[in-house]
Structure 1
Amino acid sequence: MSMRAFAHLLDRLSLTSSRNAKLILIQDHLRQTPDPDRGYALAALTGALSFNAAKPAFIRKAIEARMDPQLFAWSYDFVGDLAETVSLVWPAPSSRKWLGANRPPELSEVIDALHSASRPEVQRLIEGWLDALDPDGRWALLKLMTGGLRVGVSSRLAKQACANLGGVDIGEIEEIWHALAPPYGDLFAWLEGRSERPSPDAPGRFRPVMLAQPLDEEVDFQKLDPADYLAEWKWDGIRVQAVSERGERRLYTRTGDDISASFPDVVEALDFEGAIDGELLVLRDGALASFGDLQQRLNRKTVDAKLLAAFPAGIRAYDLLMDGETDLRALPFETRRARLEAFVASLKTSRIDLSPLQPFSTWKALAALRLEPPEGDARLSEGLMLKRRDSVYEPGRPKGPWFKWKRDPRLIDAVLMYAQRGHGKRSSFYSDYTFGVWREDEDGRRTLTPVGKAYFGFTDEELKQIDKFVRDHTIERFGPVRSVRADADVGLIFEVAFEGLQRSSRHKSGVAMRFPRINRIRWDKPAREADELATLEAMLD
């Protein structure tokens, strides 16, 4: 498959906002494309490819040798994306032929070359490939090299396309994913019925997580018996899975992304055999720090000794999935909890502690605890978690076994929709943000509707990160305003705090916030999990 076919896939994905349409595009591509190219396309979509010898600096060096560097800088500033800018301004090739043929390279040929070439060789290859490709092909090549496709496809969506292709549950894909490697020949052989399912028995693999349903106090408490449930605090960090098996130690987010390299201090503490489900937090001498401290550690590929010392990370354990080589997921939660308590007590590290249960006898007593948490760590919690004593660990978000009961009703999760340039020292940054929540139309489709605008509540460093997100995910421009990609799979969630809420005929959503501000940035949370408009309506003064 030439780079043109891969570029065509990326182009169609980038222009399609529908999740189902994206799934069909990926499924068709995987069905129609031969091995190994479809496997490499899948690896690119899931972020499983990296090329140590290919650096953005090589791309800039190549283009600045072909056009005025200042003109390129102005063009780059206007477009805001390196790959898109270079693909558009790259001059027509001279009489020099790429490898004597001036032909477009194959996708597998590019990947094989990037994996084996030295840095000087990569520089020459990049220039030859760019000469041989059209603008769409150049854009796909550069996106592939830099590892940032940004076509509205999450790793999970690409895995769902694989599951659909083979008619299997996505949990089966996730269970074996970390035992696979590009170009995934054994995966496709199984999905197409040509071989058995690849073994999930790979040390350090990820187990699909179990998630909770939001609690509706008025409805759910009428149906639930408090004696059937155990309660614990919902800690204010990010959900992780810590795995240590046969010498392999890994730290995963709840979506299966491997963040081990970002938290070497936590990985070093995984001196056990098993798999823990818990919350990643900054813990100082056993005391919980705020989420703002944890944010100093998130989204960093490397961390230095100073950062490790200032913001020591750890895990507050919720559940035990594996105890040694024993899989506990089919056991009742109450049984797993007892095993977890013994497991954590046996560990010789202060970086992993236990999320304590909160005794209660009635829903009224639990509500009082949620409203007025005791002094200490509980004051930094988001609320409570309720878990049925007899619940097995079931991947996904089953209805009934687990509930999350947030404590602060004046916080919502909203998705960034529009960004506008700021003023004064912020004039070069997109710093004024319009955000929205999900609503369901008459046809049952979920769309975002704007509910507010904020321009403070973040640090200068966070402003730079958000500005980069805006430039990388711009889909339309309206003068100084950019429309930012925001769909179920791709979007940036802000946790928005506000002082009051009232009905408003001036706003399309029908509600208006008083003093909205960005409380924190949820880089770890997929856009589909932002709040619904109904949540805001229920909070009306």
Structure 2
Amino acid sequence: MKAFAALLDRLVLTPRRNEKLLLLTEYFRAQPDPDRGYALAALAGTLELNSVKPALLRALTMTRVDSELFAYSYDYVGDLAETISLIWPAADNVQPVNDLSLGTVITTLQQTSRNAAPQLVETLLDALDVSERYALLKLVTGGLRIGVSARLAKQALADFGQVELSEIEELWHGLTPPYLSLFSWLDGSSSKPDNDNPAPFRPVMLATPLDEVETEKLTPEDFAAEWKWDGIRVQAVSENGVKKLYSRSGDDITHAFPDIVSAIRFEGAIDGELLIRHADGKTEPASFNALQQRLNRKTVTARQLQDYPAFIRVYDLLHRGNRLTGSDLRNLPFAQRRQHLEDFIKELDPSYFDLSPLLSFRTFAELRHLRNHPPHAVIEGLMLKRTDSVYSAGRPKGPWYKWKRDPYIIDAVLIYAQRGHGKRSSYYSDFTFAVWSDASEQAQLLPVGKAYSGFSDEEMKQLDRFVRENTIQRFGPVRAVRADRQHGLVVEVAFEGLNRSTRHKSGLAMRFPRISRLRWDKPPAEADIIQNLMQLLPDN
């Protein structure tokens, strides 16, 4: 546990990606099995510990700590695991354990029933030091939140074993914690594991952003263009009767889209955009807000299937047929893969799979006009793909570009603030902002979004000071700050799109909002009004 706790502490305090990779690589090299495999599972989100819930931890802490003291501490720290690890008073006559391994802790927790879990957790908290308690609590609550994604953990594995990341990703879904065969291969002590996944994920190819300057260096004749739709990138795979739907990061989302899976009556692997059709029969896709009604669900109701019918707009064909008798098309040029796709898609149900159309153009000026005037609000911009490009995993620079529309910009007033997590937990860094209901002196502020952004250290200190000096109400960890026409902080908010929403008082929901600038110079009375946003709705 000590090594894993030290790793978490260092990752939290290490902002740079390459330094995080080095820490992870060194940990994988230094730690034995199964500890490093369980650490990998925790970092990648594949570790299952179902016997301990946050409510249990709160109740357990209340048996040792005054409830008011805990409330004040949690409010200040802003993170449940960190609060409990710091405030937990060890029982008398309990000696710390110096050699408790991560593997032992995890296997013991996995074998413990929910009834026995409180006693076990209490025993462990008494036996561990502060850093180890923090690591334990992060494990059992299931959210490390230390700036390490599953993909970054896989990249560290690839660096450790000196193999390509795509090799790790293709094996991933056929392996389970603590990944003994994977580490044995990366150590060089055994051969590469067989891919036991009957419908494997194939690492996706991504595009690099395109700016105006770069368009002058490109030759239009070398590229095909298609719309960039505002959904989520997916991969539908079927082999020997096994059907899977993956997100672009390789997460298995099959259970959330049974309608799509039931319509898979082919063998192969297709790459496309998951979208929602309008239930009233409109031809263009529904907004991303409609898709959100289907995402991240363990089960889907019949009503959701009816109201939010899903389909895939197909971009590419990666594999035709199964792995034994079919063809891997990824090393063919895009133009040839497209020919295969146009033939292949004729066999698919058009209610669930349709072809992403290629756009006609001769110059980048024509493309620029298309980018700025898309036919549907659900289009984010353009995708440009070299016709001779093979399908390469990752984000190679040059073959594919994404040319997104410029974001929408509004001025809003900050009304609520909340502390962040990890290294941000001491600062107010998550903000809710609002616009005016109208232009009158009696106008009210209507919340329209919540976001944070990558402020500099100095800006974060200024924001934190503003919140503390202008707090007018407290709601647990949330602070309401003074905001009226004469006094408040205006923030410039960038976002990708806008939809109607019954969940928000303003009636609107923003797509990818982020604070792009602090407007200390602008009085709150000059912030936007709700009517300005209403005019940006797709149905206006």
Q: TM-score, normalised by structure 1?
A: 0.74
Aligned ranges 1:514-529 → 2 under 5 Å: 516-519=493-496
Is 1:254–2:251 an aligned residue pair?
no
Partner residue of 1:180? 175
Aligned ranges 1:42-441 → 2 under 5 Å: 42-95=40-93, 105-200=100-195, 202-226=197-221, 228-284=222-278, 285=281, 286-325=283-322, 326-348=327-349, 350-374=351-375, 378-406=376-404, 408-411=405-408, 423=415, 426=416
Partner residue of 2:433? 455
| Residues in 2 aligned to 1:89 and 1:430: alpha-carbon distance in whole angstroms | 19
Distance 1:297 1:478, change over 3 A: same
Distance 1:460 1:272, change over 3 A: farther
Letter in 2 for 1:384: L
Tell me how far 1:271 sits from its aligned partner.
3.7
Distance 1:461 1:131, change over 3 A: farther
Q: C-alpha deviations, 1:46-89, integer Å up to 9, x for none?
A: 11102222222221121122223343233223322111111111
Do 2:52 and 2:114's aligned partners in 1 also have CA atoms closer than 8 Å? yes
| Residues in 1 aligned to 2:150 and 2:511: alpha-carbon distance in whole angstroms | 13
Identity value in percent: 52
Tell me how far 1:133 sits from its aligned partner.
0.9
Tell me how far 1:217 sits from its aligned partner.
4.4
Tell me how far 1:262 sits from its aligned partner.
3.8
Do 1:104 and 1:132's aligned partners in 2 also have CA atoms closer than 8 Å? no
Partner residue of 1:38? 36
Q: C-alpha deviations, 1:219-243, integer Å up to 9, x for none?
A: 43554142x3222111112222222
Tell me how far 1:10 sits from its aligned partner.
0.7
Tell me how far 1:409 sits from its aligned partner.
2.7
What is the RMSD computed on CA atoms of the aligned residues? 3.7
Partner residue of 2:526? none
Tell me how far 1:204 sits from its aligned partner.
2.5
Mark the runs of 5 or more structure 1 residues left unpaired by the alignment. Answer: 413-419, 432-449, 483-512, 532-541
Partner residue of 2:472? none
Do 1:76 and 1:85's aligned partners in 2 also have CA atoms closer than 8 Å? yes
Partner residue of 1:492? none
Distance 1:41 1:480, change over 3 A: farther
Structure 2 counterpart SS, 1:516? strand
Distance 1:515 1:190, change over 3 A: closer
Structure 2 counterpart SS, 1:171? helix
Letter in 2 for 1:147: G
Partner residue of 1:509? none
Do 2:273 and 2:312's aligned partners in 1 also have CA atoms closer than 8 Å? yes
Tell me how far 1:303 sits from its aligned partner.
4.5
| Residues in 2 aligned to 1:293 and 1:151: alpha-carbon distance in whole angstroms | 30
Do 1:333 and 1:388's aligned partners in 2 also have CA atoms closer than 8 Å? yes
Tell me how far 1:258 sits from its aligned partner.
2.8
Letter in 1 for 2:153: A
Distance 1:219 1:64, change over 3 A: closer
Larger Rg computed on CA atoms: 2
Letter in 2 for 1:158: A
| Residues in 2 aligned to 1:459 and 1:150: alpha-carbon distance in whole angstroms | 30
Mark the runs of 5 or more structure 2 residues left unpaired by the alignment. Answer: 421-428, 436-444, 469-489, 499-508, 517-540
Do 1:454 and 1:516's aligned partners in 2 also have CA atoms closer than 8 Å? no
Distance 1:164 1:517, change over 3 A: closer
| Residues in 1 aligned to 2:494 and 2:434: alpha-carbon distance in whole angstroms | 6
| Residues in 2 aligned to 1:194 and 1:188: alpha-carbon distance in whole angstroms | 9
Structure 2 counterpart SS, 1:86? helix
- Greater alpha carbon shift after TM alignment, 104-113 vs 294-303: 294-303
Aligned residue pairs, count: 451
Do 2:432 and 2:449's aligned partners in 1 also have CA atoms closer than 8 Å? no
Do 2:205 and 2:391's aligned partners in 1 also have CA atoms closer than 8 Å? yes
Do 1:292 and 1:520's aligned partners in 2 also have CA atoms closer than 8 Å? no
Distance 1:523 1:238, change over 3 A: farther
| Residues in 1 aligned to 2:345 and 2:161: alpha-carbon distance in whole angstroms | 39
Do 1:281 and 1:314's aligned partners in 2 also have CA atoms closer than 8 Å? yes
| Residues in 2 aligned to 1:256 and 1:64: alpha-carbon distance in whole angstroms | 40
Partner residue of 2:501? none
Structure 2 counterpart SS, 1:382? strand
Distance 1:34 1:231, change over 3 A: same
| Residues in 1 aligned to 2:107 and 2:369: alpha-carbon distance in whole angstroms | 61
Tell me how far 1:329 sits from its aligned partner.
0.7
Do 2:497 and 2:510's aligned partners in 1 also have CA atoms closer than 8 Å? no
Aligned ranges 1:454-493 → 2 under 5 Å: 455-456=433-434, 463=450, 478-479=464-465
Tell me how far 1:320 sits from its aligned partner.
1.1
Letter in 2 for 1:140: A
Distance 1:89 1:364, change over 3 A: closer
- Greater alpha carbon shift after TM alignment, 80-89 vs 335-344: 335-344
Distance 1:462 1:266, change over 3 A: farther
Distance 1:214 1:21, change over 3 A: closer
| Residues in 2 aligned to 1:220 and 1:8: alpha-carbon distance in whole angstroms | 47
| Residues in 2 aligned to 1:299 and 1:147: alpha-carbon distance in whole angstroms | 16
Q: C-alpha deviations, 1:332-386, integer Å up to 9, x for none?
A: 2122222222333322362322211222344444444334334xxx443112212
| Residues in 2 aligned to 1:515 and 1:49: alpha-carbon distance in whole angstroms | 39
Tell me how far 1:301 sits from its aligned partner.
4.9
Letter in 2 for 1:455: F
- Greater alpha carbon shift after TM alignment, 254-263 vs 143-152: 254-263
Letter in 2 for 1:278: G
Letter in 1 for 2:275: L
Q: C-alpha deviations, 1:130-163, integer Å up to 9, x for none?
A: 1111111111001011111111111122111111
Structure 1 counterpart SS, 2:314? strand
Q: C-alpha deviations, 1:444-464, integer Å up to 9, x for none?
A: xxxxxx9xx98248997974x
| Residues in 2 aligned to 1:11 and 1:524: alpha-carbon distance in whole angstroms | 33
Do 1:45 and 1:158's aligned partners in 2 also have CA atoms closer than 8 Å? yes
Do 1:238 and 1:524's aligned partners in 2 also have CA atoms closer than 8 Å? no
